[in-house]
Amino acid sequence: MSDTQRGLFLSLEGTEGAGKSSNLAFIKEFLDSKNKNVLVTREPGGTPFAEEIRELLLTPRDEVVCENTELLLIFAARAQHLQKLIVPTLEQGKWLVSDRFTDASFAYQGGGRKMSFDTIKQLESLVQGALRPDLVILLDLPVELGMQRAAKRGALDRFEQEDLEFFSRVRQAYLARAEQNPHRYAVVDASQPLSSVQDDIRGVLESLV
């Protein structure tokens, strides 16, 4: 795929309670207003089959899900999502915004679960080749605040049931990746009021359109 012809690929990341849903809607609205043809999708998920894998991953259950099982299922869903939706969409010149992508694997499985970053990198190369998001918007906030917000949403999924230490490691892994690749990441302070978060996101997007 030629990079000059393909659409832009953005991902939105953050720990629990960072406000991804409201900000995703804002991003879509902003890009629509700039006449960008944008498709919004999510991970795990994005195609019917990958959404079934999402169900498997998120449903709390008695049987402990092994770390390798979780990681492979996430990349299985990603492989399906990429081939069936992401790559064809970008090849049509459309923009695509994904609610989470592989940075979440480095943060949750690498940081949170303490799995090997090298193993995740190998799966990333296997499944994605050279394809990476052009820009990752990271909604960052203190873990305690995010967990308070997430708790108000009701029933917790399998990941949301993890403890404060887990999410602290997830946050640190996200921030470390952003620090290592500053040109590919925009870190937005998500502890601010929503209107200020959206002002910051607008600033990031204006530099792209």
Instruction: Give the footprint of ligand TMP on this chain (CB under 6 A).
Output: 42-44, 74, 99-100, 104-105, 108-109, 159
Query: Do the Cβ atoms of 186 and 136 come closer than 8 Å?
Result: yes
135 membership: H or E segment, kind and range: strand 135-140
Smallest distance, Å, CB 109 to ligand TMP? Answer: 6
Label the pairing between strands 9-14 and 95-99.
parallel
Choice between 164 and 209, CB closer to ligand TMP: 164
3-state helix, strand, coil in the chain (%, to 5): 55, 15, 30
Choice between 24 and 205, CB closer to ligand TMP: 24
Smallest distance, Å, CB 65 to ligand TMP? Answer: 11
Choice between 34 and 153, CB closer to ligand TMP: 153
Smallest distance, Å, CB 107 to ligand TMP? Answer: 7
Smallest distance, Å, CB 105 to ligand TMP? Answer: 4
Of the candidates 146, 155, 209, the one whose C-alpha atom is nearest the C-alpha of residue 20 is: 146
Choice between 31 and 50, CB closer to ligand TMP: 50
* CA 149 vs CA 44, 64, 109, 158: distances in Å: 22, 26, 22, 17
